[in-house]
Each structure stands twice: as structure tokens, then as C-alpha cells.
């Protein structure tokens, strides 16, 4: 075998992800809040970045242009005015005499003291555990009962149920605490909200009717024996087994509906997160207008002082100049990336408007099927770019607030051969169910047949899938008993 070393020149093309390109892609997929946080952090780390918009007299500056030592110095009157604001006032003598008189300054003239952080003034909603621990502290109990009660409260789920048995919660705390557990649980079940600390739905409802002094009533019998029949709406079966009139059963069921099956509901869940739209879409006359929402977004510029320093700083050290150049390049690329992000969002929104004009004009029934490729081919970008732009970006239009991804959904072929968006089919199902007779709700098969009459051929299981996705109960659970 003959082994030799050779030199060979070859020209190839390959895509290189530069740090700048990686940053641009990352900014493109960030939400509005995440972008604001990134910009704030960059302002703290990069001294050449300012949060002001460009001034009218500001001239363009390129970091690639050669330095001209003979160029006249730019007018820096703005910075001189800023320095002059710190000059000593003319009436300083009067202030000195006032201070020497040992009198305190009026509130408006005092030096501003350090104020507490804004986060310290924000209150969080009370949790279920906090509400129960407060009631536990207000009750006269032994130390062991308090420890057992705190352990039980800590193991309640968001709905207020105790799903973990006491035999698993209390033994690690010792035999004395374990012995105090049943009494502590019995006490917690008397706390507010009614039904808290129950181990299942039946116990939860029984605790509530006990507090209403309805023990031994027909309501208690319905809870213990006939919950399944109540869920199915089978009043006749309940009448046969209880030997009471239909009117009494209906009255007891009405009272049962007023009970809370999830006692922790008022305390559970997270706080509502309010979405700020990235784009506003509104109609003026016969024309639609797209307006990007810049409210709250930092307006960046490169600090004029450092620009002039770089232009005319011929006496700067090489390492200082390189550091300043790097910071200016970084700031310039960030500004360009944010601007490119806004332009891309505008172009994607404009393409969506053109393709979904019927939706914006007439409503959700006229939403058309659309995929990422349709917009990508329209504006000349890759599908992944459209996917990044439409993630966590929201548009506000006359029909409400929508994520840009909402407008991309698969199509269902109608009997006429046309394609209809799946979201439009869901809207039709919602309208059909909303108009049904609550005493005789429509089955999924009946809804499928009604849609077929409108030219939409979908199977019963597809109707069931869409109904479940919209969190609509089946017909047996939607029936209202009269």
C-alpha cells in the first residue's frame, strides 16, 4: 500500500451560523416581554447603547468608515447643556443661610430619599394553604395537633382534596403527631371553604350539607346513593329507588347544584397573564391598516459621546479603541436585528391579511385553511422563519386578540370540493350546540348529519374530537332536567 500526502484546493459553499445571525434568529422567536428583558440587559452591559430615539440633527455614522483626523469636531452642545444643568444656582447664599438656621427643609425641597422597590408594594393573592394555616393558628390546639394539621394542609391539592392517606403523611413526624392526625383532619374539614380536606367528592359534598344542617335529608341520600344517576340525568330511576315525588327529587337536585365540588377553586390557579399585542390591525374606510405596537419597547441608539470619541480619538490606545469598536458593532447589530424583526412581523401580518381578508371582514366562519409554506413563499423566507415569527406574537383586530399561529390550520374538504378551515368547522359545531334544545341535546352523530346538510362531510368521531377540544360536554351531560 502506497501512502502519500497531497495538497488539494477545493471550492465549496456552506452556510455558517455567525454569532450575529444566531442573535438575529433568537430575537426573532422571542416574545414581546422576553425581547424587552433582553434589551434591558444589553443596555446594562453595553455602555454605548442609549435608550433614546435618534435626534433630528443626528448624522449617519458607519463603524467601517475610515477615521479622518482633519474632520471638524461635531457640535456637542447637547452634552454641554447636560453638564451645565449641574452648575451652582445663583441664589446659593440664600440656601446656605436657610440651612444654617437649623430649620428642616420643606418636603418638596428635601433630597429625595431612597424609596422601597416597586416589587415590595405588589401583593400576591392568598393561597388555600395560607388561608387554612391562618385558621389553624386561630384555633386552640396542642402542639402535636398543630404539627399534624400543618402536614395535612401542606398535602392538599389545588382543589382542596386530601388525596394522600394520613398513614403516609404523619408517620415520619412521630407516633404522637400521628395519633393527633384524625382530630386535626376533622377540625380542618370544619374550616372555610366548606368541603376542604375531603378525600373524595362524596365526602366533600357531605361535609357541606352537614354545615347546612341537612344531615339525614333527601339531599344526603342522593349524594350517597345516586350521584351516577344525577350525572346521567336519570330522574326516573332516582324516583323509583327513593319512593318520593319527582318534584322533591328535582328540588333536592337544585340544592345539590349549589354545592361546590372543588372547594379550593377560589384560591387555586395562577394569576391571569395579560397579553400585549405586537400588531394592531384596523380598518379605515375601505383600507386595512397594519400598525406595529412600539409602546413599551426601548428605542435604542448609539451614544453620541462614544461615536465622537471614536471618530476623533486618535490618541486612544489600540486596545481601548478595539474595545469601543466591538461594543459599537454589537450595539449596531442589535439595533438592526430588532428593526429586521419588526419588519418581518409586519410582512408576515400583511401576508396573513391578504390571505385571510374574508376572516377580518366577515368573521371566523370565513377563515380559510393555510399552512406556513403559503406565507413563506409569499414573502420569500423559509418556513422556519414564519414559524418563529408567529410564535407568541399577537395581533389585535376587530374580532379580538389572536396569536398569529391561529391563522394557520389544516383544511377539511367539503362536498363541493372546496377546502374549509378546521377552526371554521369548530365554530359551526359551537353554534349548533348553542342553539340546541337543552332538554334534548344533540348527539355527535346528529351534529355530523347537520353539518353534512351544509356540505361539510366529517365523521361522528371527528365531531367528538372537536367538541372535546372545545371542552364541551357530551349530550348526556348537557341535558338540563326540568
For residue 188, the Cα-to-chain-centroid distance in whole angstroms is 34
pLDDT greater than 70 at residue 268: no
Range with the poorest average pLDDT among 7-16, 24-33, 132-141: 7-16
What average pLDDT does range 31-51 have in this prediction?
A: 86
d(CA 383, CA 392): 16
Per-residue confidence band for 78, with pLDDT thresholds at 50, 70 and 90:
very low
- Judge contact between 209 and 223, C-beta under 8 A: yes
DSSP 8-class letter at 144: H
pLDDT at 476: 80
Higher pLDDT, 115 or 111: 115
What average pLDDT does range 429-450 have in this prediction?
A: 90
pLDDT greater than 80 at residue 96: no
pLDDT greater than 60 at residue 182: yes
Range with the poorest average pLDDT among 34-48, 97-111, 358-372: 97-111
**Residue 87 backbone dihedrals phi, psi, to 5 degrees:** -70, 160
What average pLDDT does range 319-324 have in this prediction?
A: 84
Most confident of 52-56, 61-65, 262-266: 262-266
What average pLDDT does range 195-215 have in this prediction?
A: 92
Q: Tell how strand 411-413 and strand 419-421 pair up.
A: antiparallel
pLDDT at 114: 52
pLDDT at 135: 93
Per-residue confidence band for 318, with pLDDT thresholds at 50, 70 and 90:
confident
Computed over every residue of the chain, the mean pLDDT equals 81
pLDDT at 413: 78
pLDDT greater than 60 at residue 69: no
Write out the H or E segment, with its range, that includes residue 75.
none
Range with the poorest average pLDDT among 179-183, 249-253, 310-314, 350-354: 310-314
Higher pLDDT, 272 or 155: 155
What average pLDDT does range 60-86 have in this prediction?
A: 41
pLDDT greater than 80 at residue 117: no
> Per the structure block, which three cell numbers stand in for 27?
430575537
d(CA 203, CA 223): 9
pLDDT at 186: 93
What average pLDDT does range 3-25 have in this prediction?
A: 74
| Residues contacting residue 242 through CB under 8 Å, at least 6 positions apart | 218, 221, 222, 226, 249
Higher pLDDT, 45 or 84: 45
**CA-wise closest residue to 278 among 388, 396, 386:** 396
Percent of the chain with pLDDT over 70: 81
Q: Could you give the C-alpha distances from 161 to 29, 141, 196, 344, in angstroms and in order?
A: 40, 22, 6, 49
Range with the poorest average pLDDT among 48-62, 101-115, 270-284, 325-339: 101-115
Per-residue confidence band for 351, with pLDDT thresholds at 50, 70 and 90:
very high
What average pLDDT does range 57-68 have in this prediction?
A: 41
Percent of the chain with pLDDT over 90: 32
What average pLDDT does range 295-319 have in this prediction?
A: 79
The CATH-assigned architecture of domain 411-478 is Orthogonal Bundle (1.10)
Place of cell 370540493: 417
pLDDT at 122: 56
Other beta carbons less than 10 A from residue 469's beta carbon: 11
Domain locations in the chain as residue ranges: 128-257, 279-407, 411-478
pLDDT greater than 80 at residue 98: no
Q: Is 111 exposed, middle or buried (0-12, 13-18, 19+ CB in 10 A)?
A: exposed
Write out the H or E segment, with its range, that includes residue 395.
strand 394-397
pLDDT at 110: 43
Amino acid at each position: 500500500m502506497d501512502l502519500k500526502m497531497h495538497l488539494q484546493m477545493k471550492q465549496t459553499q456552506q452556510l455558517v451560523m455567525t454569532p450575529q445571525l444566531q442573535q438575529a434568529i433568537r430575537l426573532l422567536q422571542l416574545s414581546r416581554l422576553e425581547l424587552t428583558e433582553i434589551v434591558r440587559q444589553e443596555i446594562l452591559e453595553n455602555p454605548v447603547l442609549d435608550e433614546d430615539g435618534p435626534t433630528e440633527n443626528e448624522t449617519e455614522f458607519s463603524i467601517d468608515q475610515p477615521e479622518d483626523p482633519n474632520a471638524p469636531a461635531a457640535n456637542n452642545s447637547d452634552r454641554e447643556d447636560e453638564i451645565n444643568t449641574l452648575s451652582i444656582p445663583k441664589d446659593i447664599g440664600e440656601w446656605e443661610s436657610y440651612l444654617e438656621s437649623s430649620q428642616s427643609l420643606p418636603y418638596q425641597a428635601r433630597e429625595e430619599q431612597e424609596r422601597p422597590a416597586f416589587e415590595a408594594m405588589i401583593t400576591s393573592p392568598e393561597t388555600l394553604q395560607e388561608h387554612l394555616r391562618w385558621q389553624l393558628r386561630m384555633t386552640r390546639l396542642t402542639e402535636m395537633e398543630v404539627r399534624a394539621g400543618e402536614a395535612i394542609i401542606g398535602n392538599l391539592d389545588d382543589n382542596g382534596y386530601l388525596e394522600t392517606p394520613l398513614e403516609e403523611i404523619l408517620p415520619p413526624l412521630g407516633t404522637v403527631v400521628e395519633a393527633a392526625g384524625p382530630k386535626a383532619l376533622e377540625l380542618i374539614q370544619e374550616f372555610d371553604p366548606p368541603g376542604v380536606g375531603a378525600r373524595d367528592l362524596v365526602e366533600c359534598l357531605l361535609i357541606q350539607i352537614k354545615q347546612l344542617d341537612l344531615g339525614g335529608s333527601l339531599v344526603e341520600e342522593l349524594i350517597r346513593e345516586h350521584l351516577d344517576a344525577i350525572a346521567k340525568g336519570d330522574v326516573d330511576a332516582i324516583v323509583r329507588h327513593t319512593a318520593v315525588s319527582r318534584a322533591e327529587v328535582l328540588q333536592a337536585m337544585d340544592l345539590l347544584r349549589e354545592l361546590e365540588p372543588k372547594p379550593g377553586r377560589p384560591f387555586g390557579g395562577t394569576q391571569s397573564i395579560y397579553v400585549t399585542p405586537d400588531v394592531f390591525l384596523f380598518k379605515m374606510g375601505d383600507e386595512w391598516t397594519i400598525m406595529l405596537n412600539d409602546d413599551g419597547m426601548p428605542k435604542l441608539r448609539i451614544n453620541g459621546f462614544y461615536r465622537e470619541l471614536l471618530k476623533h480619538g486618535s490618541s486612544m490606545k489600540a486596545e481601548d479603541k478595539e474595545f469601543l469598536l466591538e461594543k459599537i458593532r454589537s450595539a449596531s447589530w442589535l439595533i438592526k436585528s430588532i428593526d429586521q424583526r419588526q419588519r418581518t412581523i409586519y410582512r408576515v401580518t400583511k401576508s396573513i391579511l391578504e390571505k385571510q381578508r374574508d376572516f377580518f371582514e366577515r368573521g371566523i366562519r370565513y377563515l380559510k385553511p393555510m399552512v406556513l409554506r403559503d406565507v413563506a413563499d409569499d414573502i420569500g423566507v423559509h418556513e422556519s422563519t414564519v414559524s418563529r415569527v408567529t410564535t407568541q406574537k399577537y395581533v389585535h383586530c376587530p374580532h379580538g386578540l389572536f396569536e398569529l399561529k391561529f391563522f394557520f390550520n389544516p383544511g377539511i374538504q367539503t362536498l363541493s370540493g372546496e377546502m374549509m378551515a378546521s377552526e371554521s368547522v369548530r365554530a359551526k359545531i359551537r353554534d349548533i350546540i348553542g342553539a340546541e334544545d337543552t332538554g334534548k341535546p344533540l348527539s355527535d352523530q346528529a351534529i355530523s348529519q347537520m353539518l353534512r346538510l351544509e356540505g361539510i362531510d366529517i365523521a361522528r368521531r371527528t365531531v367528538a374530537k372537536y367538541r372535546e377540544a372545545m371542552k364541551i360536554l357530551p349530550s348526556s351531560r348537557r341535558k338540563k332536567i326540568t
